[in-house]
DNA sequence: CGCGACGTTGATTTGCCTCAACGATTGTGG
DNA sequence: CCACAATCGTTGAGGCAAATCAACGTCGCG
């Protein structure tokens, strides 16, 4: 299990044995069945998870009761209950499994331990955060400038593998359109081809 | 000049004199007149700026030629040409001054120096990044779930001081509506009162 | 002073939502 | 193992929020 994370981290730099040991002692494996929750919004806890196998998603429910998917997390992605592991107390997101999933869990204390004790982890975290911010900026600009069809096409190009694995209505939720609209967009797209 | 940044950083922890010295040697003051550009999208460089006095904004221009404001930066805010100071080469954003501005500039090398040599800077940067991610997530969810009026009201509540200082059409650009729509929303709002 | 930038208001269009109905697929219990 | 329910995607009709297009007043600045 840990090996998958180690491989991921070593895209930055090789990890000395001591760091790998620290990693092992800090992360806790967890399995989730399809549909099972990792965390519910409002629960007090502070975890992040690295997906070794399977597929997780994070979403919020707004005041109108509507679901909005914030992030998908297939293999080799980190996902967390809040934007980054930070100091707040309550999880703003729901996270559940779309498929059977093997994940590695880390809590706030563990995160701090690794930030202090594992340079490779710290570097990877920093880089990952930068990438995350860039992706979010892109999504913001797109939600302002692009119509539904353009957003769909861009998602297809950027994350083709995710499109395959996700039910269409969840993709619609991520893109910010209704399932009906996405269905019509896809119809149009196939006709053109 | 530096004092403003020092005060900002010391919200985390007091800075030893050596760290303050490092700060001084790394940051370069710069003045921008109203309307002047700090950076244009596409230029090769990698800077961030801390606004001591004045007001900056970052924006993109999409394929349709439309402007979208990504961030406003009044006093005591950091702003950068790309999401975080990272490793890419080209600035995706335009940054210019809405008012006469005193800023402190830092480049990628300086950032790395401080990350390594100033624990307080590093801690502040990490915390700031977390906050930034949280704010962006909120903006994403809002663009998906709230209509124009709700987004306007929320902005008013969250950043009342910014509303005062920004031309209305720029606020519209940030919120993702046309100036006409924002004008109508404001009219309605004043009538209700 | 005169021009351009900015905000306002009106008329029209449009992209997307809502509501509704219906097949196909999945899975669940009798 | 079949029957029925639930979930999911599709299609159609109608409505609404916001964009577009257009015209006009006002203010500030060169």
Q: Is the pLDDT of residue B191 over 70?
A: yes
CA distance B190 to chain A (A): 25
- Segment holding A47, helix H or strand E: strand A47-53
Task: State residue A180's pLDDT score.
Answer: 96
Q: Which residue of A has its CA nearest to B65?
A: A145
Task: State residue A63's pLDDT score.
Answer: 84
Query: How many Cα atoms occupy the beta-carbon half-sphere of A99 within 13 Å?
Result: 16
pLDDT grade for A62, boundaries at 50, 70 and 90:
confident
Query: C1' nearest to CA of B179: which nucleotide?
Result: C7
CA distance B68 to chain A (A): 7
Are B134 and A86 in contact (CB < 8 Å)?
yes
Task: State residue B91's pLDDT score.
Answer: 66
Tell the residue number behind the tokens 């940054």, with chain if given: B95
Query: How much is the average pLDDT of B183-192?
Result: 87
CA distance B150 to chain A (A): 12
Task: State residue A101's pLDDT score.
Answer: 94
Q: Mean pLDDT over all residues of chain A? A: 90
d(CA B182, CA B177): 7
d(CA A73, CA A54): 8
Say which residue, A91 or A81, is predicted with more confidence. A81
Interface test with A, best of B41, B95, B145 (most A CBs within 10 A): B145
The pLDDT tens digits for A67-78 are 999 999 999 999
Task: State residue A80's pLDDT score.
Answer: 87
Q: Mean pLDDT over all residues of chain B? A: 90
Q: Is the pLDDT of residue A84 over 60?
A: no
Q: What percent of chain A has pLDDT over 70?
A: 94
Rounded to 5 degrees, what are φ and ψ at A40?
A: -115, 145
CA distance A113 to chain B (A): 15
Q: Which nucleotides of D are covered by protein (CB under 7 A)?
A: 8-13, 17-22
Query: How much is the average pLDDT of A165-172?
Result: 96
Are A137 and B136 in contact (CB < 8 Å)?
yes
Task: State residue B193's pLDDT score.
Answer: 45
Tell the residue number behind the tokens 């940044």, with chain if given: B5
A177 to chain B, any CB pair closer than 8 A? The answer is no
d(CA B51, CA B100): 11
Are A137 and B70 in contact (CB < 8 Å)?
yes
B176 to chain A, any CB pair closer than 8 A? The answer is yes
B136 to chain A, any CB pair closer than 8 A? The answer is yes
Task: State residue A103's pLDDT score.
Answer: 96
Q: Is the pLDDT of residue B85 over 90?
A: no
Q: Is the pLDDT of residue B150 over 70?
A: yes
Taking the model in full, what pTM does it have? Answer: 0.91
Query: How much is the average pLDDT of B48-75?
Result: 93
B132 to chain A, any CB pair closer than 8 A? The answer is yes
Nearest Cβ partner of B143 from A83, A127, A140? A140
**Protein residues bordering strand D (Cβ below 7 A):** A 167-169, 179-180, 182-184, 186-187; B 147-149, 176-178, 180-181
The pLDDT tens digits for B27-36 are 999 999 999 9
Q: Which residue of A has its CA nearest to B67?
A: A145
End-to-end alpha-carbon separation of chain B, Å?
A: 42
Nearest Cβ partner of B66 from A130, A143, A145? A145
Provide, in whole angstroms, the distance separating residue B146's CA from nucleotide D22's C1': 29
Query: How much is the average pLDDT of B133-160?
Result: 93
Are B139 and A144 in contact (CB < 8 Å)?
no
Q: Is the pLDDT of residue A193 over 50?
A: no
Task: State residue B30's pLDDT score.
Answer: 94
Q: Is the pLDDT of residue A86 over 80?
A: no
What tokens does A72 get?
């998908």
Task: State residue B83's pLDDT score.
Answer: 60
Task: State residue A97's pLDDT score.
Answer: 94
Q: Which residue of B has its CA nearest to A59?
A: B141
Query: C1' nearest to CA of A34: which nucleotide?
Result: C27
B185 touches strand C (CB under 7 A): no
pLDDT grade for B80, boundaries at 50, 70 and 90:
confident
Q: Is the pLDDT of residue B86 over 60?
A: no
**Torsion, CA B146, CA B152, CA B158, CA B164, rounded to 10:** 170
Say which residue, A192 or B23, is predicted with more confidence. B23
Instruction: Spell out the residues 6+ positions from residue A6 whose beta carbon is closer than 8 angstroms to its own.
Output: A15, A20, A23
d(CA B85, CA B34): 24
């Amino acid at each position: 299990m840990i090996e998958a994370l180690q491989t991921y981290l070593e895209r930055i730099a090789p990890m000395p044995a001591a760091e790998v040991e620290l990693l092992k002692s800090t992360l806790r494996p967890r399995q989730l069945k399809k549909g099972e929750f990792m965390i519910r919004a409002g629960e007090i806890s502070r975890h992040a998870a690295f997906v070794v196998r399977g597929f997780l998603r994070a979403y919020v429910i707004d005041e109108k009761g509507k679901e909005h998917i914030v992030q998908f997390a297939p293999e080799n992605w980190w996902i967390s209950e809040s934007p980054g592991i930070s100091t707040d107390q309550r999880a703003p997101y729901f996270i559940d499994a779309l498929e059977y999933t093997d994940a590695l869990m880390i809590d706030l204390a563990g995160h701090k331990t690794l930030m202090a004790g594992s340079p490779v982890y710290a570097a990877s975290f920093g880089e990952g955060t930068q990438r995350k911010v860039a992706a979010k900026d892109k999504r913001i600009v797109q939600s302002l400038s692009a119509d539904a069809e353009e957003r769909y096409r861009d998602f297809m190009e950027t994350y083709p593998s995710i499109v395959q694995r996700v039910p269409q209505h969840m993709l619609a939720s991520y893109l910010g359109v209704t399932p009906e609209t996405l269905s019509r967009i896809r119809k149009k797209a196939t006709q053109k081809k």
